[in-house]
Structure 1
Amino acid sequence: MDDESAQVTAAIAGELRLMDPEVRASRKPAAELLDPEFVEVGASGRRYAYEQLLAELPDKPGASADGPRYEPSGMTGAVLAPGLVLVTFEARLGVRRTRHSSLWRRRDEQSGWRMYHHQATVVPPGIE
């Protein structure tokens, strides 16, 4: 596997971990996957910073083992620069369909890959 493929694989693995209910329900593993400078613009249009998302993540959809789970599809990644990967995909959570884009960055070998920015957009019914 070449370096670019390894970077994309690592970012996608982190993205999938953040959809895991066990990770979403627990601050420590989620904190290890989010960059301290993290910002999200959620599907609701609400903006979240690092601490705010960590505090609210356990109460968000997809955080319960017995509730609906994220079902991602079409996940792809592209290296924008060394240590910076763009991941895009669609996801379903129950009947709601959303499109996502995330920037993952790795500052150094010790910190590993962390989500730096995330954007989600609801796809209205009937839109392909």
Structure 2
Amino acid sequence: MTEAIDRERSLHDPSVRLSGALAEALFDPEFIEVGASGRRWTRAEMIAALPTLHGGTENSTPITAERFEGTVLAPGVVHLTYETRIEDRHARRSSIWRRDAAGRFRLYYHQATPVPNGPDRP
């Protein structure tokens, strides 16, 4: 579980977001994301876009990730949930990591759900 959390956090690191090779090593070949905007991303689209998204440069607004929780769904498959803040945007996130043939966790699925501003927001 700790390895999956560490790898999830590394995806928020500008050095990883700027390096196609480092990013490729983290994404499963069958990766799919449903972003906070509702857009569906493929592995190739996400790797290409990472340098342009928040957290993609040393000078961009950092991504704050907190409240990580994880559950083992099956041997070699971990489901993580956590929350992020980027400037004034807050999202709840869900990721599924699975081990590849070499034993490394790779991100298989990710979904972000925006949390609206308001009195009910934690």
Q: Within 5 Å, which residues of 2 pair with 1:115-126?
A: 115-126=107-118
2:66 corresponds, among 53, 73, 78, to 73
TM-score, with length taken from structure 2: 0.95
Q: Within 5 Å, which residues of 2 pair with 1:22-61?
A: 22-61=15-54
Deviation string, structure 1 residues 81-101 (Cα, Å, up to 9, x no partner) = 000000100010111101000
CA distance in 1, matches of 2:100, 2:33: 19
Superposed CA RMSD: 0.9
Q: CA deviation at 1:107?
A: 2.6
Q: CA deviation at 1:46?
A: 0.3
TM-score, with length taken from structure 1: 0.90
CA distance in 2, matches of 1:93, 1:84: 28
Q: CA deviation at 1:111?
A: 5.2
Moved over 6 A (4+): none
> Percent of aligned positions with the same letter in both sequences?
45
Q: Please list every run of 5 or more consecutive structure 2 residues that lacks an aligned counterpart in the other structure.
A: none
Query: Number of residues paired by the alignment?
Result: 120
Q: CA deviation at 1:105?
A: 0.2
Q: CA deviation at 1:115?
A: 0.3
Q: Please list every run of 5 or more consecutive structure 1 residues that lacks an aligned counterpart in the other structure.
A: 1-7
